[in-house]
Homo-oligomer: A and B are copies of this chain.
Amino acid sequence: MSETGGTGTAGRKGAGTRTAPGAGSPRERYRTQVRAEIKERAWEQIADAGASALSLNAIAKRMGMSGPALYRYFGSRDELITELIRDAYRDLADTFRADADNGRGDAEDGTGTASGADLASLAHAMRRWARADPHRYFLVFGTPVPGYHAPDDVTGIASEIMAALLDACAKLPARTSAEVDDQPFDRHIKAHGQWAGEHPATPAQLHRALSFWTRLHGVLSLELAGHFTGMGFDAEAFFEAELEGLLAPA
């Protein structure tokens, strides 16, 4: 079990076990510890060669035990991947929330400009998170894995992310008041915006949050997939330009 190496760097990226670390019987404690190490090795493999190269066998051997032992901890390869996806999603939500909290602090200090600082900060946090581990980003937002179906609790996590986004959108200067909520899609979303949950956001804000998500994902996804390499321009500069367009009141 590689007692020394073990979970030495546990809690990588803060996406470790959500259960309390020192809880329950010693057996249970050991169990959560091994589960955590398995996930860690899994993340290593994913960071190296992507999710499709994840091998339970290789993980087991690198942990000093033999193949089928892992099936005591994860019912199947898909179950492990599902849990990794959920952890990644969770980590992104935490990142967004942390960034939102920081932003609120700055605003109260009077240092941050009110116009779009929060949304821009969120965008940069998103880009940082994506570039920190591209494979993790693709695991969440990339090509869907064949047999995977999102468990129920990810919708809750997605709501958290959306809430942080909507909060930032609410702090933006509104569009010219004449055309607020008057675009065709704004009217559509007024009737189909239940995904915002209880958030008191205007249709225009929902629209803006959606655009934020899809536009930045469009840039990040293609950048991380390497579709910009060889084109010569600076991906970061383009990202900033897109963000700029997103913050513009028009």
Contacts and interface: CB of A to CB of B under 8 A. Distances in A.
A5 interface: no
A217 B221 contact: yes
A231 B193 CA distance: 7
A241 B185 contact: yes
A18 interface: no
Of the candidates A50, A218, A237, the one having the most CB atoms from chain B within 10 angstroms of its own CB is A218
Interface string A205-240: 001001101111111011001110011111001101
A73 interface: no
Interface string A94-110: 00000000000000000
Contact of A142 (B142, B194, B244): B142
Interface residues of A, number: 50
A53 to B, nearest CB: 6
A61 interface: no
A240 B142 contact: no
A131 interface: no
Contacts of A219: 214, 218
Contacts of A146: 49-50, 52-53
Contact of A215 (B53, B141, B215, B233): B215
Contact of A250 (B211, B233, B237, B248): B248
Nearest to A224: B144
Contacts of A193: 232-233
A248 to B, nearest CB: 7
Interface of A: 49-50, 52-53, 138, 141-146, 155, 183-185, 188-189, 192-195, 207, 210-211, 213-219, 221-222, 225-227, 230-234, 237-238, 240-242, 244-245, 248, 250
